[in-house]
Amino acid sequence: MLTRRIIPCLDVRDGRVVKGVRFQGLRDVGDPVEQASRYEEQGADELVILDVSATPEGRATAADTVAAVRELLSIPLTVGGGVRQVADAERLLAAGADKVGVNTAAVERPGILTELADRTGAQCVVLALDAARREGDEGWEVVTRSGAHRTGLDAIAWARRAEQAGAGEILLTSWDRDGTGHGYDLELLAAISSAIRVPIIASGGASGVDHMREAFDAGADAVLAASIFHDGVMTVQQVKAMLAERGVEVRR
Amino acid sequence: MAPPDDPRPRVSIVATGVANTASVAAGFRRCGAEPVFIDDPASAQSADYLVLPGVGSFAAGMACLRERDLVGVIRDRVDEGRPTLAVCLGLQLLCESSEESPGVEGLAVVPARIERFPADVRAPQFGWNSVEPGPASRYVRAGYAYYANSYRLPAAPEGWAQATTVHASPFAAAIERGRVLACQFHPELSGRWGLALVKRWLQNGEEAPSC
């Protein structure tokens, strides 16, 4: 039986792991290679590296970080952040990524998803979809540029379109919940899950195992978490043991 | 051939030019092998160990092998049971045809057809699923393997040992014959279990020291 995945996420800037709330107030929380190895050892099912560098120099460092992590990591590695064109994705794949996440560039030009899928196969293409609840309105809209830009684009319609365009998986982040510890946005998750067939990774808001179980019940195939692991609140192993107790199928 | 002073097995990976080949190469380094990329029939023929990786579509994969004139040599290696590892799409290419690319002929060294997962399950199948070896499996052991596939081989034909995974229904997780191992999952991404499997293939079934 296909198990539910637990995916630690490393936000990397200039070769170091950082973490903030809603992408603001970044603080240094460690060395990426060390953390990646530790998470694999603990039973992480995959690893995501998000390059949050703001400069071209920082972006160049990201490829080095990916290569260094890859030499030691024997689980799948998804890398996102700053992918604007096919060549950016190819650079990350050449450094050792297995999948590449695309966010803002896909919203601005959905054709990039098709170009990437044609070039690498849809299983290499992860759409990072950041969604926020509409102010005083029903539903969710897509936000880009680290939340600075509200696009007005309906999140559900965008997920459908991205799947058709070639996204093999969707990393769904609730902008309202990211870094808050209040749990995933379950309504958003259920709405997207019923609209598409490709797997969904839920992200943004988990502070405990019950939040993760709720996300799986709402239709997530995998959950992404950062703070909960970086802050040493729990190990991946502990999380999986507790999920198993709650009836969730996990790899142990 | 590896120089005599280099004890590492030299693994020749068919360069398909797409996707995560860097990740595949790193996986072989973690298994203590020396990966090299090749794209010509002579190198594929003389390779001690040949790896047919693969992501992308069935049609694109076959087009790549035809352009490089690799069809005959890979077919021969598999027929002769020489050390050959096919991964993911690589396994599918060994078969006769695939629902993914109607009308495209595969390597046809495994008499079977690749089919899509039924419409009522999540596809691609992304993630870790359990693998159950068959009575004749020499390399594959029980454990969890990492998958990224929308198509699969429903069952191994006669003469091939099959390990099995279930996603909606049972399918061939891996098939083995002689020193040929073809995996629908990605051994290089399947943690220690996957590395141990690659080492057993390299050492022809001998128990691998821990990674």
The residue in chain B having the minimum alpha-carbon distance to the alpha carbon of residue A120 is B19
CB contact under 8 A, B146 and A221: no
Q: Which two tokens stand for residue A108?
A: 């601005």
Instruction: Say what the pLDDT of residue B195 is.
Output: 96
In a domain, B89, yes or no: yes
Interior/surface letters A33-48, b for 16+ CB within 10 angstroms, e for the rest? bebbbbbbebbbbbbb
Give a yes or no: residue B3 inside a domain.
Answer: no
pLDDT at B17: 65
| Successive 10-residue mean pLDDT values, chain B, 211 residues | 72 81 92 95 97 84 93 98 96 96 96 92 90 97 95 96 96 98 97 96 73 46
Q: Using DSSP, state whether B208 is helix, strand or coil.
A: coil
Chain A residues bordering chain B (beta-carbon distance below 8 Å): 1-5, 40, 45, 67, 70-72, 74-77, 93-99, 119-124, 168-169, 197-199, 221-222, 251
In chain A, which stretches have pLDDT less than 70? Answer: 20-25, 54
Q: Which domain holds residue B169?
A: 10-202
CB under 8 A, 24+ apart: contacts of B65-74: B65/B14, B65/B93, B65/B107, B68/B14, B68/B39, B68/B40, B68/B41, B69/B40, B69/B41, B70/B14, B70/B39, B70/B40, B70/B41, B70/B44, B71/B107, B72/B41, B73/B41, B73/B44, B73/B45, B74/B14, B74/B44, B74/B50, B74/B107, B74/B109
Which chain B residues in 54-113 lie under 8 Å from chain A, judged by CB atoms? 55-57
Is residue B75 within 8 Å of B43, Cβ to Cβ?
A: no
Into which CATH architecture does domain A5-245 fall?
A: Alpha-Beta Barrel (3.20)
B58 falls within a domain: yes
φ and ψ of A2, to 5 deg: -65, 125
Catalytic residues of B: 88, 186, 188
Q: How large is the angle between the packed helices B21-30 and A56-72, nearest 10 degrees?
A: 40
The answer as to whether B211 is a domain residue is: no
Q: Which residues of A touch B122 (CB under 8 A)?
A: 2, 197-199, 221
Size of interface A-B (CB pairs under 8 A): 110
Partners of residue B126 in chain A, C-beta under 8 Å = 5, 123, 168-169, 199, 221-222
User: How many domains does one find in chain B?
Assistant: 1
CB A86 within 8 A of CB A134: no
Terminal Cα-to-Cα distance of chain A (whole angstroms):
13
Kindly state the helix (H) or strand (E) to which residue A237 belongs, with its residue range: helix A236-245
- Determine what percent of chain A is predicted with pLDDT higher than 70: 97
pLDDT of residue A3: 97
Distance from CA of B99 to the nearest CA of A (A): 16
Task: Indicate the residue of A45, A71, A121 with minimum beta-carbon distance to B56.
Answer: A121
Contact B124 A98 (CB under 8 A): no
Q: How far is A100 from chain B (nearest CA, A)?
A: 10
Q: What is residue A205's predicted lDDT score, i.e. its pLDDT?
A: 85
What per-residue confidence (pLDDT) applies to B211?
A: 46
Distance CA B174, CA B155 (A): 10
Quick one: pLDDT at residue B209?
A: 52
B122: nearest CB among A76, A124, A221: A221
Yes or no, beta carbons of A2 and B27 under 8 Å apart: no
- Tell me whether strands A24-30 and A16-21 are parallel, antiparallel or unpaired: antiparallel
pLDDT at residue A20, as a whole number: 63
In this prediction the ipTM stands at 0.90
Contacts of B129 in chain A (CB under 8 A): 1-3
Identify the CATH number of the domain in which residue B61 sits.
3.40.50.880
CB contact under 8 A, A77 and B23: yes
